[in-house]
């Protein structure tokens, strides 16, 4: 597909900041197609015959970032599939909300050079103690192999060291809408909405 046919919004924020939760709201209100890099990686990990399953499992448990070739291929395939199965009305662009990606600067450059530049970066800012208690609570039922105290600590560290520089890079380009996320879901969404509408996305 051509990058002229799509609008891409990156959705970043620490583990448990609420990206998945707010994505569901954004799909309903703004007709985004939601693609979670983490969900795509977990699906690939479970796919029979995947050559990457064991590697992905190990990276996710350790809170490390899976080599970008794998993630970018999953994302661009998912975009192409979505465009083929539900093409946008003539004269309009498909809108993709890419959740949890890019988490490393080289991924940001690679994706924007080879797939499509992003229009906007939504960033949920949430204190670690709040994210930790949300994730530990979710871990009681989520079945996610990384919702445990040790993996959570590693995910936080990767986020601060590796993923925050991506946010800062886009901030320098004035492409970031930042929202405080340690408030109720509906209040976060109201702020996200205001940010999106102010940018005419």
| Positions that interact with ligand UP5 (CB under 6 A) | 13, 15-21, 36-38, 41, 59-60, 63-66, 71, 100-101, 103, 134, 138, 146, 155, 181, 184-185, 188
Q: DSSP state, 102?
A: -
Containing H/E element for 34? Answer: strand 33-36
Q: Would residue 140 be called left, alpha or beta, if left means φ above 0 and alpha means ψ between -120 and 50 degrees? A: alpha
User: Is 201 labelled as part of a ligand binding site?
Assistant: no
In the chain, where does DSSP find H-type helix?
A: 19-30, 37-46, 53-61, 68-85, 105-114, 128-139, 149-158, 164-172, 185-198
User: Is 63 labelled as part of a ligand binding site?
Assistant: no
- Min dist CB 37 to ligand UP5, Å, is 4
Examine residue 20 and tell whether it contacts Mg ion (CB under 5 A).
Answer: yes
Size of site (CB under 5 A) for Mg ion = 2
- Min dist CB 38 to Mg ion, Å, is 5
- 155 vs 175 by CB, closer to Mg ion: 155
Examine residue 145 and tell whether it contacts Mg ion (CB under 5 A).
Answer: no
- Min dist CB 99 to Mg ion, Å, is 6
Residue 57 has phi, psi (to 5 degrees) of -55, -45
Find which of Mg ion, ligand UP5, none residue 53 binds, CB within 5 to 8 Å per kind: none
- 39 vs 178 by CB, closer to Mg ion: 39
User: Is 183 labelled as part of a ligand binding site?
Assistant: yes
User: Is 103 labelled as part of a ligand binding site?
Assistant: yes
- CA–CA separation, 168 vs 149, rounded Å? 27
At residue 16, the 3 state secondary structure works out as coil
User: Is 199 labelled as part of a ligand binding site?
Assistant: no
Q: What is the 3-state secondary structure (H, E, C) of 169-184?
A: HHHHCCCEEEEECCCC
Which residues line the annotated binding site for a ribonucleoside 5'-phosphate? 42, 64-66, 100-103, 107, 144, 155
């Amino acid at each position: 597909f051509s990058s002229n046919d799509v609008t891409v919004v990156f959705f970043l924020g620490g583990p448990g900041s609420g990206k998945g939760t707010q994505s569901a709201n954004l799909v309903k209100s703004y007709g985004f197609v939601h693609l979670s890099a983490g969900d795509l990686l977990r699906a690939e990990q479970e796919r029979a015959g995947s050559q990457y399953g064991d590697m992905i499992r190990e990276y996710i448990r350790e809170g490390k970032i899976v080599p970008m070739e794998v993630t970018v291929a999953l994302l661009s395939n998912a975009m192409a599939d979505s465009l083929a199965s539900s093409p946008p009305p003539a004269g309009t662009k498909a809108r993709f909300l890419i959740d949890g990606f890019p988490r490393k600067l080289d991924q940001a450059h690679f994706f924007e050079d080879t797939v499509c530049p992003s229009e906007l970066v939504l960033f949920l800012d949430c204190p670690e103690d709040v994210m930790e208690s949300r994730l530990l609570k979710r871990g009681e039922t989520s079945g996610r192999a990384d919702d445990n105290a040790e993996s959570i600590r590693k995910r936080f560290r990767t986020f601060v060291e590796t993923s925050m520089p991506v946010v800062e890079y886009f901030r320098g380009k004035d492409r970031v809408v930042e929202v405080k996320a340690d408030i109720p879901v509906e209040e976060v969404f109201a702020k996200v909405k205001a940010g999106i509408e102010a940018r005419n996305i």
